[in-house]
Amino acid sequence: MNEHPPNLLQQLGRSSRAMYSAFEGRVGEALPRWRILKALDDLGTASQKRLACHLQMDPGALTRQLKPMEAEKLVRRSTDPADNRQTLVTLDEAGAALLRAAAPQRQAFFDQALNGIDAEELATTLRVLRLLEERFRGMAADAR
Q: What is 23-77 written as a DSSP string? A: HHHHHSS-HHHHHHHHHHHHH-SEEHHHHHHHHT--HHHHHHHHHHHHHTTSEEE
Is pLDDT larger for residue 2 or for residue 55? Answer: 55
Q: What is the pLDDT of residue 130?
A: 95
Q: What is the pLDDT of residue 5?
A: 59
Residue range 28-86, pLDDT digits in tens: 999 999 999 999 999 999 999 999 999 999 999 999 999 999 999 999 999 999 999 99
Q: What is the pLDDT of residue 144?
A: 81
Residue range 94-131, pLDDT digits in tens: 999 999 999 999 999 999 999 999 999 999 999 999 99
pLDDT band at 15 (very low <50, low <70, confident <90, very high): very high
| DSSP for residue 116 | T
Residues 6+ apart with CB under 8 A from 23: 30, 31, 34, 106, 109
